[in-house]
Amino acid sequence: MNLEDILPKEFLEPNIRLYSFILLIVIGLAALIAFPVKEYAGYIDPFYSPTLLIIPIIGLFRLTCYAFRKDYNRHLFKHPLQCPALPSADSSARAYTGETSLFMKIENYHRYFMYVALAVLPFFYYDLFVSLTYSGIFVLRLGSILMGLDVVLLTLYVFSCHSIRNLVGGRNDCYGCGLSAKMRKDVYKSQSFLNKHHRTFAWLSLLSIIAVDLFIRALTAGIGIDFVIMHVVL
Amino acid sequence: MNVCIKIFRHDPASDEQGRFVEYDVPFEEGMSVLDAVNYVSNYIDTSLSVRWNCKAARCGSCAAEIDNIPKLMCKTKITSDSVTVGPMRAFPLVKDLVTDITSNYDKLRSIKPFTPGKAQSGVWRMNEDDVVRSQEFRKCIECYLCMDVCHVMRLHNTNYVGPRHVIKAASIDMHPLDSLDRSVELKEKHGLGYCNVTKCCQDVCPEKIQITDNAIIPEKERAADAIYDPIIRLIRKIRGVK
Ligand code: SF4
Ligand code: SF4
Ligand code: FES
């Protein structure tokens, strides 16, 4: 078996954008492993929530997410780079498999990674709680605000997932039928509203995770950018 | 003021290759690309072939590539002093701006037709929301712009049936009175897996149908229910739903 049978051809093309992206991921992962910052003053780093070992599965959740698929298929694999029919967009000389190749079939398993993501979500709420109460009193600091923002964005991201849309009504031919029809309809409609903004949540929640990580790293490095906004003696 | 319109000219019966020919057309306020093309065919070169019917973005006949973007000629206003018009390159050329879209009708026939189940107590009843849902897809005017913009249709020789036909299947699949499921067939026979959800089709649709979000992805998810999700399959079997 040679490399072309396993990897999609797009990985083997000269493609600076794709290579620099992979490099970025590798550097990021190396930084996480070589310079682990698990916790600082009650702030638990989001990459350790609950454990670094979960990252591959969460990574697969994002990789098989329809929002990210659109972005990497266009901008990293150039299938197609843009919609106007320009020669630079794509070409028939490039092999193309979509999600039919052995490697890309994994995109069909998105829902399983979504289940894991759902299960991980409560840990972020717990971390937020810890950051607010770690000193025995309720302290609201800048870091907790960032973590709060992060957990809200993550929740919106996971709950706006296309697989959840399928689960809460997309798969039903008659989503207004049966018992508690009104409630099911409302759930499906609200989820569809969130789903429209799935891509925005996908990117914002990725940025917010990195922001929280960098914030905690900065604190660990002795850069004092955190401050107390209010505290309440419990 | 004149508009310079570059039109693709190719008569496969006599020319080996096509080329873009420039014409100068007097500009009028509110002029559409179709107006300019018609001006050329009426006053400059009557041998120019172009297909149109309604001039109101209803019939879908005047689909073309305007400055490389698939659009309806009658709905596109001229906004600069030059514009390029070519035929839809995803389909075989008949002549100039006219392409042969017959393959689409064969594809439409290959989608299993509406197959109603048993009416409950002899009366068909449909919830309004369910009507609205599949009605979105019925707005399709069959211009085939979505098929033309799709890189899978244009460039890659696959068995993918194409966005227009996935919404056709979805419009029947999501009909509450229909008794079949077409998602597995879409996936296995009609190459749905070749679509990589890049959404160019829904960007060009003149009827603003959310092709990828409301038809393609839901059909992919339904196929995943049936093929990749043993748990869902089991639950459906126990509950006896399709
Ligand atoms: S979303 Fe799918 S069907 Fe639509 S243009 Fe892209 S590849 Fe083609
Ligand atoms: S879905 Fe939209 S773009 Fe495609 S044929 Fe119908 S109206 Fe045209
Ligand atoms: S002429 Fe009918 S859609 Fe343009």
Which atom of ligand 3 lies at the shortest distance from residue B206's CA? 3
Q: Whose CA is nearest to atom 2 of ligand 2?
A: B205
Q: Whose CA is nearest to atom 5 of ligand 1?
A: B150
Ligand 2 pocket member B211 (CB < 6 A):
yes
Residue of B140, B168, B195 to test ligand 2 pocket, by largest number of atoms within 8 Å of CB:
B140
pLDDT (0 to 100) of residue B176: 86
Residue ranges of chain A with pLDDT lower than 50? none
Q: To probe the interface with A, which of B88, B197, B203 has the most A CB atoms within 10 Å?
A: B197
Residue B41 to chain A, least CA–CA distance (Å): 25
* Tens of pLDDT, residues B23-69: 999 999 999 999 999 999 999 999 999 999 999 999 999 999 999 99
pLDDT (0 to 100) of residue A140: 94
Residue ranges of chain B with pLDDT lower than 70? 119-121, 240-242
- Contact of A177 with chain B, judged by CB distance below 8 Å, is answered with yes
pTM of the model: 0.92
- What count of other Cβ atoms lies within 10 Å of the Cβ of residue A2? 6
CA distance A175 to A52: 39
pLDDT (0 to 100) of residue B22: 97
pLDDT (0 to 100) of residue B242: 58
pLDDT (0 to 100) of residue A104: 84
pLDDT (0 to 100) of residue B123: 78
Chains A & B: contacts with CB separation below 8 Å: 117
- Contact of B117 with chain A, judged by CB distance below 8 Å, is answered with no
Q: To probe the interface with A, which of B198, B210, B229 has the most A CB atoms within 10 Å?
A: B198
pLDDT (0 to 100) of residue B120: 64
